[in-house]
Structure 1
Amino acid sequence: MYDYNDSSELVLIRKAQRGDVKAFSELYARIYRELYRFALYTMKHPQDAEDAVSETVIAAYENIHKLKKEESFRSWIFTILANRCRRKLKTVQKMEELPESLAAAEQDHAESCDVRKAFMKLDEEDRIIVACSVLEGYASAEIGRMLGMNPATVRSRKARAIDRLRRILA
């Protein structure tokens, strides 16, 4: 996991904000797997996940000069990704009308869609906390540094978000 006491990522962020393409590419290389896993978990289709990550990276590159706090880079880019995924899901859901004859065969898919829909009902910051913790294995302290929160706040928000997911899925 990334430690913000190591200034190499912060240096890359500052260089990227000044237009250094190579620095932005290095940032992207460091975070791509996490972005892709988050998008894949959210979208469930590899091509949709890849599209969401690509669009996110383009948007982040074009807008990195607007990033106010370098320490917030990861939460900032995950927020962009969460927004892209949500827009793509709305489009995909409108296009996915299953005939009744396929409904039984798609039960597992439907259950995973329910989890995805429940996940998307969380607010963006809670989705980032749950995804970083559950999917990526970040500790509360690491998530807290990324989001500028106290680790105890991260833990309590994660617990409330998971409880909310349980209630939605019950």
Structure 2
Amino acid sequence: MSDYESLPELVLIRKSRGGDVKAFSELYARIHKDLYKFALYTLKHPQDAEDAVSEAVISAYENLGMLRKEESFRSWIFRILSNQCKGRFRNRQQMEELEPEMAAPERDYAELHDVREAFGILNEEERIIVAFSVFGGYQSDEIGNMMEQKSATIRSKKSRALGKMRSVLE
């Protein structure tokens, strides 16, 4: 067990802000799985998810000085990842519009699973809200802060999104 594994998250954040790469690596190790799950369910493609997480982590490391509250590290890095996912999603849509004659992508057999199919019917914003809630463990007020919307609006959108998913799963 390294010295860093036993340190509280806030201590790691402070060390990272001071330029300690090992401290940032430990922060990344603690949150990587949640970041990847969020990106995968948002983008639906493993390689895109890995790329989005990598870019988000690099951006977070480079901009760590812009983090206003150390307690908000997780929501801050998820917001960065959310922006990366939105950008990739828009780029993919543009590519599909420009190249409709391209061969269909290889079938993702995981899409045959009911939950993934249900998640796939959600629009981009709904996927992000559900992913923040389910994979990030964030409350409506935290998601609202990240997405610059009222918590009541987030609760309403989340409820509608879960209803859509439920209708596919029934």
TM-score (norm 1): 0.68
**2 CA distance for matches of 1:146 and 1:162?**
10
Tell whether 2:155 aligns with 1:159. Answer: yes
Query: Using a 3 Å threshold, how does the CA distance of structure 1 residues 146 and 65 change in structure 2: closer, same or farther?
Result: farther
Give the match for residue 88 of structure 1. Answer: 88
Question: Does the Cα contact within 8 Å between 2:13 and 2:24 map onto a contact in 1?
Answer: yes
> CA offset at residue 135 of structure 1?
3.1
Question: Does the Cα contact within 8 Å between 1:43 and 1:85 map onto a contact in 2?
Answer: yes
Question: Does the Cα contact within 8 Å between 2:42 and 2:85 map onto a contact in 1?
Answer: yes
Match runs of 1:58-77 below 5 Å? 58-77=58-77
- Cα deviation, 1:41-69, whole Å, max 9, x if unaligned, reads 01111000000000000000000011010
Match runs of 1:136-155 below 5 Å? 136=136, 138=137, 140=139
Question: Does the Cα contact within 8 Å between 2:42 and 2:128 map onto a contact in 1?
Answer: no
Query: Using a 3 Å threshold, how does the CA distance of structure 1 residues 87 and 145 change in structure 2: closer, same or farther?
Result: closer
Give the match for residue 9 of structure 1. Answer: 9
Amino acid in the other structure paired with 2:158 = I
RMSD over aligned Cα atoms: 3.7
> CA offset at residue 167 of structure 1?
8.2
- Matched position secondary structure for 2:63: helix
> CA offset at residue 157 of structure 1?
5.2
Question: Does the Cα contact within 8 Å between 2:144 and 2:154 map onto a contact in 1?
Answer: no
Aligned-residue identity in percent: 49
Question: Does the Cα contact within 8 Å between 1:74 and 1:146 map onto a contact in 2?
Answer: no
Tell whether 2:128 aligns with 1:127. Answer: yes
- Matched position secondary structure for 2:48: helix
Give the match for residue 41 of structure 2. Answer: 41
**2 CA distance for matches of 1:94 and 1:29?**
33
Give the match for residue 3 of structure 1. Answer: none
Tell whether 2:79 aligns with 1:79. Answer: yes
Query: Using a 3 Å threshold, how does the CA distance of structure 1 residues 88 and 145 change in structure 2: closer, same or farther?
Result: closer
**2 CA distance for matches of 1:7 and 1:40?**
29
Give the match for residue 30 of structure 1. Answer: 30
TM-score (norm 2): 0.68
